[in-house]
Each structure stands twice: as C-alpha cells, then as structure tokens.
Amino acid sequence: MTDETVVGEPAAIGSDEPEGHTPSVEVVAIGTELLLGQIVDTNSSWIGEQLAAAGLNSHFQTKVGDNPTRIRSVLELALDRSDAVICCGGLGPTQDDVTREVMAEVMGVELELDEAVAGRIRHMFASRGRTMPDNNLRQAMVPVGASVIAQQPGTAPGLICPLGTEAGSKVIYAVPGVPYEMKEMVTGTIIPDLVARSGRPAVIRSRLLRTWGMSESGLSEMLGPRIEELDEIGNPTLAFLASGVEGLKVRITARAHDETAARAVLDTEEHLLRSLMGDIVFATDGDNMETVVVASLARRGLTIAVAESVTGGYVAGRLCAVAGASEVFRGGVVAYHRDIKRDLLGVQEGPVVTEAAATAMAQGARTILGADIGIATTGVAGPDEAEGRPVGTVCAAIAGLDAAGISRDVAVTMQLPGDRERIRQFATISLLDLLRKRLR
C-alpha cells in the first residue's frame, strides 16, 4: 500500500478542510538499547497510531542512540522536513540522559532550573519517605523558552520547545521513554496541541469495535461500500487493525467541534457498522473476549467451570485474568492424561478427540465443580497427529446452558491453523467466542 491508500485514513481527514493545514509530525526515539534490540520500540508505533487517529501526517520515524551529536543531527533533519517532532526518551536523571541538553542546543538557548518542577520531584520522593538524590535535579533543568507539559506522572517532566517566532514556527515535544508517562503526555497535551496548531476542529475521538471470526478480506468486502462512502464524506474515517489470534479491530475516528458532536458521529457510525457486521462484533474499546464473557455470565447470575485438554489451562487462565472473575468462575480441571478425563470427569473409554468426549468433559466439570455451565476443549496441538486426527483438530463443547433451565449441550469440531502454541490460543478464544454467542 502507499501512504495514501490505507483504508482512506490519514489522507481523507483534512482533505475537506481547506482552511486548515495538516501538520506532519516525526517521531524520534532515543536510546542505545533500542538500536541494540534489547528493547523493542513500541512507543513510536503507539504514537504513530495516535497521530493517524488524530488525522495528522507522519512520514518518518527514527531511532538513535544516547549520543548528543547524532541526536542533534536527527532532530535538525526532522525539523527540516516536518512541522513538529515528538522526541521520546533520554529525560532520566543520569549523565547519559542528554535530551534536555540537545533540545537547548537546537533552540540556541541555555538550560535553567524550573523551581516548580524541582518542587514536584522533591515532593514525589518525600511522599515515598525518601530523600531526592541530587541527580534528580537535572530533571528540573528546562531550556529557556520551553514550557513544561502539565501531566507529570513520573519524575521526568515533558517539554514543549517552540522554534522560531513566526506563524510558520515549528515545535519539538520531549517526553520520557517510560510508556505510561509518555502516553499520558501525548494524549493529554501533545495531540490536542498539534490539532489546535493545525487550525482544524479541536475534538477528535475514536472508538474500537473488536471483531472475531472473520478475515481482513472478508471484513473489507462486508464494509466495502461503506468505506467508499466515507472516502467521499471524509468524516468519520475507518481503519482496520490486526490483533493476531484476538481478531481484527475496526477503528472509527470522528472529528467535530465539540465532544458531544464527536460522540454523536461515533454512535451513529457504530450503529451502522454493527448492523452490517452482526455478531462478529464482540466488544468495544478496552474490553476483550474474557471480560465480555464474564460480564455476560454475571448479568445472568450464572457460574462456570472449565475442563481443558488441548488448551491445558489457557481458558481458565484467561477467565481468571478478569478482576472480579470469582463472582462467576468456580474453577477448572486440566484433564491432560486420558485417565483423568475418565476418572475425574467421567469421559467414556475410547477416542478423546471427539465432540462426545468434549461434551462429557464439559458435563463432568459442571458436575464436580458445581457450576451452572461447563465448557471444554480437547484436540491435537501437535507436533504429532493423534487418534488418526491431524494436528489442529479441536473439539469444543458447552454443557448445561439453557434459558429455561433445561440441559441443552452444544459441541463443534474445528480445524485450526498454526503451530502448537497458536493452535492452543486459537482453541481458547474459539471456545470463549462460542460461549459468548450462546449467551446472547
């Protein structure tokens, strides 16, 4: 794909706003450990996603080590070809953290102590009963003419460094490399500041619809006509984001003059997309498959138990990951050895990679763990086939689920792709999705 064809995203936003200018923003990640591959630079990717969602252009991202000369050369190049730069990392308290000094050099100014920042850092140490090492005062040094970003969740303050005084002036933002500190500053200050500078509507909001069970090409086909319409209209915009075994996200991004109007655009579009996509949409925004399933069980006052063979604990592990799972989750049996399927869960002698065995496991778990619903997996994760069934064969079952209180079981057989780990993860989410649909 080219910069201009990604599901109509960055190009589309702003194209009907001739009065505004879409600023181009570069991201510079600073840290030798990034170049050495000791840490994967996920910060730049995350910032890139936020910029795109806000309709801002981003054409280059650079990683550079903790070397003042090289950082300066990268910043000067970035300022030359873009309107703004977000600089990530190198704001720590040690001698190796040189971003502040380089920013001052690029601005052609000195560093000075910001008493307010120094006070905040001292206070942070004091509130944990510790004395601030002198080193940390380095973090309160701010280039003359720069301002400090309001959000400061850690000891490192973020900086806004304007360059030039005219209308066409450029800006460098500096944020710490610690992801949660960086994210608060980017979301809270930098994106709104960039949008304001662009002279376009000030409120940009997005919403994620999470889907499971359809390929990207299938989804493109399903939403094709709507995407073409939106390419014309320009607002909201849609983007697909892949999340591996967790499915595909459809992101709706709306811009408007205020919060209420933006939300109305999102609501209308979500309603339309849901009518097109039906029940492949399983969650919005921060929810995932297990939070949705646990919430759905809790609403109905139902408890659940799990019996696992091929997934070996993954289904139970995901359900327990939800805070408050104890309200609905009774427990599980990992019935890996054939004897345990038989002795503990009551599965009959014979082949165990069958829907009958999966159903018996689900019923067994339900009974011995005292739950309303039992769910189970059995299958072949490899490396070798088993019982004459190929690697990737998985049977999943749900027992005891019925609106009227009458037992009615469901079982399915799937042929899943990938290696051992991927088959087990696929089987896990497939079973949870099966349950989600039965609970509707």
Cβ atoms within 10 A of the Cβ of 237, count? 27
Q: Residue 328's closest CA among 367, 293, 358?
A: 293
Distance between CA 193 and CA 198 in Å, rounded?
9
From candidates 41, 83, 105, 290, binder to a second copy by CB under 8 A: 41
Instruction: Please tell me what DSSP assigns to residue 304.
Output: E
Identify which of residues 1 and 404 has a Cβ nearer to a second copy in the complex.
Answer: 1
**Smallest distance from the beta carbon of 4 to a second copy, in angstroms?**
8
**Smallest distance from the beta carbon of 318 to a second copy, in angstroms?**
8
**Smallest distance from the beta carbon of 18 to a second copy, in angstroms?**
23
Under the binding rule (CB under 8 A), the answer on residue 181 touching a second copy is: no
**Smallest distance from the beta carbon of 145 to a second copy, in angstroms?**
27
Q: Name the phi and psi angles at 348, rounded to 5.
A: -70, 155
From candidates 208, 214, 261, 368, binder to a second copy by CB under 8 A: 368
Please name the helix (run of DSSP H) or strand (run of DSSP E) that holds residue 290, with its range, or none: helix 289-300
Under the binding rule (CB under 8 A), the answer on residue 404 touching a second copy is: no
Distance between CA 62 and CA 228 in Å, rounded?
33
Q: What angle do CA 23, 28, 30 make, to 5 degrees?
A: 160
Tokens of 147: 């301002």
Total number of residues that touch a second copy (CB under 8 A): 84
Distance between CA 252 and CA 239 in Å, rounded?
7
Q: Residue 74's closest CA among 30, 43, 32, 36?
A: 30
**Smallest distance from the beta carbon of 180 to a second copy, in angstroms?**
11
Under the binding rule (CB under 8 A), the answer on residue 33 touching a second copy is: yes
Q: Residue 364's closest CA among 355, 372, 374?
A: 374
- Give the binding range for a second copy (CB under 8 A) out of 46-54, 154-162, 207-215, 276-284: 46-54
Q: In this structure, are strands 248-256 and 203-211 parallel, antiparallel, or unpaired?
A: antiparallel
Under the binding rule (CB under 8 A), the answer on residue 430 touching a second copy is: no
- Give the binding range for a second copy (CB under 8 A) out of 187-195, 229-237, 365-373, 393-401: 365-373
- Give the binding range for a second copy (CB under 8 A) out of 259-267, 290-298, 307-315, 351-359: 307-315
Under the binding rule (CB under 8 A), the answer on residue 178 touching a second copy is: no
From candidates 22, 50, 206, 354, binder to a second copy by CB under 8 A: 50
Under the binding rule (CB under 8 A), the answer on residue 317 touching a second copy is: yes
Identify which of residues 213 and 312 has a Cβ nearer to a second copy in the complex.
Answer: 312
Under the binding rule (CB under 8 A), the answer on residue 192 touching a second copy is: no
Site for a second copy in 52-111 (CB under 8 A): 52, 58-67, 70, 73-74, 77, 81, 96
Tokens of 232: 């014309």
For residue 156, the one-letter residue type is: A
Identify which of residues 28 and 280 has a Cβ nearer to a second copy in the complex.
Answer: 28
Under the binding rule (CB under 8 A), the answer on residue 315 touching a second copy is: yes
Are 58 and 27 in contact by the 8 Å Cβ rule? The answer is yes
Identify which of residues 153 and 312 has a Cβ nearer to a second copy in the complex.
Answer: 312
Phi-psi map region of 287: left, alpha, beta (phi>0 left; psi -120 to 50 alpha): beta
